[in-house]
């Protein structure tokens, strides 16, 4: 298993309850094939440039261990979730 970091940027129009549901959904998905070590909710921040007409958004960072094969499934779920406007997953050495 490799260590990863994943940053997701969530649409600012999502309510607090919706944020918790999204974080729980992705945490459960990661835990299916790995282990979440830490989740940082960085809160609402100003974006460097407009993304889908948004000037600010919520940032969430996941630190986790997972099988490399499960990353494709995680990224697929990020793509099909309308509330996620940007994401990145990087392997940490």
Find the mean pLDDT for residues 78-87.
93
Give the CATH number of domain 2-92: 3.30.70.60
d(CA 38, CA 21): 16
41 is written with which tokens?
């909710």
Is the pTM for the entire model greater than 0.75? yes
Query: Other C-beta atoms within 10 Å of 71: how many?
Result: 18
* Boundaries of every domain in the chain: 2-92
Residue-wise pLDDT for 40-77, tens only, equals: 999 999 999 998 889 999 999 999 999 888 899 999 99
d(CA 52, CA 33): 31
Tell me how many degrees the CA angle 83-90-44 measures, rounded to the nearest 5. Answer: 40
């Amino acid at each position: 298993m490799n260590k990863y970091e994943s940053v997701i940027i969530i649409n600012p129009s999502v309510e607090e309850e919706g944020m918790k549901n999204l974080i729980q959904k992705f945490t459960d998905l990661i835990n299916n094939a790995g282990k979440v070590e830490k989740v940082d909710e960085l809160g609402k921040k100003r974006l460097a440039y407009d993304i889908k007409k948004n000037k600010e958004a919520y940032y969430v960072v996941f630190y986790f261990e997972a099988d490399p094969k499960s990353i494709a499934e995680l990224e697929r779920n990020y793509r099909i979730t309308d509330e996620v406007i940007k994401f990145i997953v990087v392997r940490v050495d």
